[in-house]
Amino acid sequence: NAGVTQTPKFQVLKTGQSMTLQCAQDMNHEYMSWYRQDPGMGLRLIHYSVGAGITDQGEVPNGYNVSRSTTEDFPLRLLSAAPSQTSVYFCASSRTSGEQFFGPGTRLTVL
């Protein structure tokens, strides 16, 4: 099993550009989440999903969209990137509300 995979590992965007961060898991987990990590701020929940077709907002959802068309994939879309979205983004999955398995992260810089 590959676990949780994220692509790309690194990305540089210009302000106003859009992009999609990919996340996939092969553990048949129902729960998937997106977090952003900024220095001194810990991990903040952006969006999460408890199953295919079901998504909900977390603590910091503004500027991000998600969809969950399959159990395996949970992409995060930035519609119009802003410098404030410079961060490290982690995707995680879990069977229920228990142990979360994190991907390796995507380091995003918005100029």
The region of 10-18, 35-43, 62-70, 78-86 touching other proteins under the rule CB under 8 A is 35-43
Q: Is 26 in the site for other proteins (CB under 8 A)?
A: no
Pick between residue 62 and residue 97 the one whose CB is nearest to other proteins: 97
The region of 15-23, 43-51, 64-72, 77-85 touching other proteins under the rule CB under 8 A is 43-51
Q: Which residues contact 23 (CB under 8 A, 6 or more apart)?
A: 4, 5, 6, 32, 34, 73, 74, 75, 76, 91, 103
Separation of alpha carbons 20 and 2, rounded Å: 21
- Given the DSSP bridges, would you call strands 10-13 and 54-57 parallel, antiparallel or unpaired? unpaired
Per-residue binding letters, 58-97, with other proteins (x by CB under 8 A): xx------------------------------x-x----x
